[in-house]
Amino acid sequence: MALAEAILVCLTDRPMSGYDLAKYFDASIGFFWRASHQQIYRELGRLRERELVESKEISQSGKPNRIVHTITDKGRAAVTGWSSKPVRMPSVKDELLVKLYALETVDTKAMREQISVRLEQHQSKLSEFKRIKSRFYDGKDLTVNQKGKLIALELGIDQELFRIAGWETVLRKMSDAGV
């Protein structure tokens, strides 16, 4: 249940509403731990029960009220405790690679198209990461926390570059194999 910890990590930065968190996940930490807004709201309820966050409703006119969640001392301790425990290897699940396992049975024309789509997706992620980097990090004085995020972001950039090269190689090798 590391979603709990991912949320707490976000809240070490600043108090946020569920909606804020959902956006933050979409634009930042979600690159390394994806979560939908439903997951986030559900998990926030549990965190409140476990007293790892404190929630305060803030009145708004027109729009629904915001519920702002603040990490508690207990929550901060939970993050530190979690951080010292071993992690598992990230789970591996990629249908596109499974399809490579049955090259004689699959529709290879469709597969090439899917690889092209995948390439575009990596390309757009790459652009996004680069944009974020130049906008928020380049040429700035950074706190340790920000440096950590930058390290993650740069790993993300390299990863996208690697994946683009990787799938292009796959396309070439498929041609060599005659499919």
Write the DSSP assignment of 4-30 as a string of letters.
HHHHHHHHHH--EEHHHHHHHHHHTGG
| Shortest reach from residue 87's CB to its own copies, in Å | 4
Instruction: Considering the complex, state which of residue 5 and residue 164 has its C-beta at the smaller distance from DNA.
Output: 5
Indicate the length of the chain as a whole number: 179
Range 54-113, binding its own copies (CB under 8 A): 76, 79-80, 83-107, 110-111
φ and ψ of 92, to 5 deg? -105, 125
Among DNA, its own copies, none, what does residue 97 contact (CB within 5–8 Å per kind)?
its own copies
Backbone angles phi, psi at 17, to 5 degrees: -85, 170
DSSP, res 179: -
Place of tokens 């027109």: 62
Least distance between DNA and beta carbon 179 (Å): 27
Residue 48 vs 112, nearer CB to DNA: 48
Q: Identify the CA nearest to 33 among candidates 96, 82, 97.
A: 82
Structure tokens at 153: 């972001």
User: Is the separation of the CB atoms in 16 and 24 below 8 Å?
Assistant: yes
Determine how many CB atoms are found less than 10 A away from the CB of residue 5.
20
Q: Determine, following the binding rule CB under 8 A, whether residue 143 of this chain makes contact with its own copies.
A: yes
Q: Which is nearer to its own copies, 68 or 115 (CB)?
A: 115
Residues that bind DNA (CB under 7 A): 1-3, 17-20, 22-23, 34-39, 41-42, 44-45, 60-68, 91, 93
Residue with smaller CB distance to DNA, 28 or 146: 28
Q: Given the rule CB under 8 A, which residues bind its own copies?
A: 2, 5-6, 9-10, 12, 29-34, 76, 79-80, 83-107, 110-111, 114, 117-118, 121, 143-145, 147-149, 151-152, 154-155, 158-159, 162, 166, 169-170, 173-174, 177-179
